[in-house]
Amino acid sequence: MFIIQTYPTAVAFCLVTMLCWGSWANTQKLAAQQWRFELFYWDYVLGIVLTALLFGLTLGSTGDAGRGFLTDLRQADMASVGQAMLGGIIFNAANILLVAAIAIAGMSVAFPVGIGIALVWGVLVNYWDNPLGDSGRLFLGVGLVVVAILLNAFAYRRAAAQAQKVSSRGLVLAVVAGLLMGFFYKYVAASMFPDFTVPEAGKLSPYSAVFCFAGGVLLSNFLFNTLLMRRPFSGAPVSYADYFRGSARSHLMGVLGGAIWCVGMAFSILASGKAGPAISYGLGQGATVVAAIWGIAIWKEFRNAPKGTPLILNGMLACYLAGLMLIIAAH
């Protein structure tokens, strides 16, 4: 299987993760305007599963390093498979709760709160399990990224046409989503053999771990998303019949969104072998500011913003870049 051999390559893979995790949501905007997120999400999950399988059958099955994808799955014990699938279940619950929080409290409140907590908590959890890297630089870098996320939230609030009352229910959902999001990665990392060049009996390779993770996302979606379709946090209930009435473009955008997110996940897991889970996860979760850049440059979300907003956005980008450099230098 293909594995990363050097730390600079691992950093490059983490940066791709950040771009993927910060960009996949654009596919929802490109789907039909009437296409509800609950329906989009089925195709998104399908894209994750298909991409995880494709990675396993290609990069996970070539070369002499490690253990081939199918061979690895056959020898895996239930404990390792269960850990990776648990990571997928936790991620799916967190992702759906975050979407619900956005629907109730708005993007400018829920996304920075949820992902900000996920970033800090996830780095702490993963560093505790595998303390690879200089803690001072790592946590200072994470702190600067959090400042960038908060500046992004402040800019969104300033750009709002009318001040809105912040929903306490939405905030609670965002906090719970962030805490869950910070946990999922550690279970996927724990399911793998730590040195990707030296397979361990019963443990998973990075490719098998991502595939089992995707399986957890898919299986849990039949419960989580079905409940959300019947009792949505916002809007009227939708049915499976509504899903099959969707256009080819809407379905394709969902699959593409899942594929983009899964490329980021696979690259992050591969990078964790050299960078360590804490650094790999921390760099990936800088995706919030990547999403903000899409909003600024492509979707023109700040075109009617009050005077002084560009200064806030420049401060956001400065903190973000400084934080990324510190996280990279923490190795």
Q: What integer is the mean pLDDT of 311-327?
A: 86
Where is pLDDT greater, at 166 or 292?
292
d(CA 243, CA 291): 27
Predicted confidence (pLDDT) per residue in 286-308, tens digit: 777 787 777 777 777 667 778 88
The reported pTM is 0.88
Among 47-56, 91-100, 210-219, 260-269, the minimum mean pLDDT is found in: 91-100
| Number of independent structural domains in the chain | 1
Give residue 163's pLDDT band: very low, low, confident or very high (50, 70, 90): very low
pLDDT-wise least confident of 1-15, 102-116, 299-313: 102-116
| pLDDT class of 166 with cuts at 50, 70, 90 | low
Q: Which residue has the higher pLDDT, 81 or 162?
A: 81
Is residue 2 in a domain? Answer: no
Assess if residue 11 is contained within a domain.
Answer: yes
Mean pLDDT of 100-127: 77
Q: Is the pLDDT of residue 226 over 60?
A: yes
Establish if 192 belongs to a structural domain.
yes
Is pLDDT of 331 > 90? no
Using 50, 70 and 90 to split pLDDT, how confident is the model at 94? very high
In which domain, by residue range, is 269 found? 7-329
Q: Is the pLDDT of residue 108 over 70?
A: no
Look at residues 318, 329, 20, 301 and name the one whose alpha carbon lies nearest to residue 145: 318
Q: Quick one: DSSP state of residue 316? A: H
Q: Confirm whether 287 is domain-assigned.
A: yes
pLDDT, residue 106, reads: 61
Give percent of the chain above pLDDT 90.
52
Regarding predicted confidence, which is higher, 164 or 304?
304
Q: What is the pLDDT of residue 320?
A: 82
Q: Is 298 exposed, middle or buried (0-12, 13-18, 19+ CB in 10 A)?
A: exposed
What is residue 162's predicted lDDT score, i.e. its pLDDT?
A: 43
* In the block, residue with structure tokens 């998104």: 44
Domain membership of residue 1 (yes or no) is: no
pLDDT, tens only, 76-88 = 999 999 999 999 9
CA distance 107 to 96: 14
Mean pLDDT estimate for the chain? 88
Indicate the SS3 state at residue 10.
helix
Could you give the residue ranges of the DSSP H alpha helices within the chain? 7-23, 26-30, 37-57, 69-75, 78-105, 107-129, 135-159, 168-190, 206-230, 240-244, 248-275, 277-284, 287-297, 309-329
pLDDT higher at 52 or 235: 52
Chain centroid offset of residue 322 CA: 21
User: Is residue 107 predicted with pLDDT exceeding 80?
Assistant: no
Within a domain: 38: yes
pLDDT of residue 239: 96
Q: Is residue 151 part of a domain?
A: yes
The reply to whether 233 falls in a domain is: yes
Does residue 141 surpass a pLDDT of 80?
A: yes
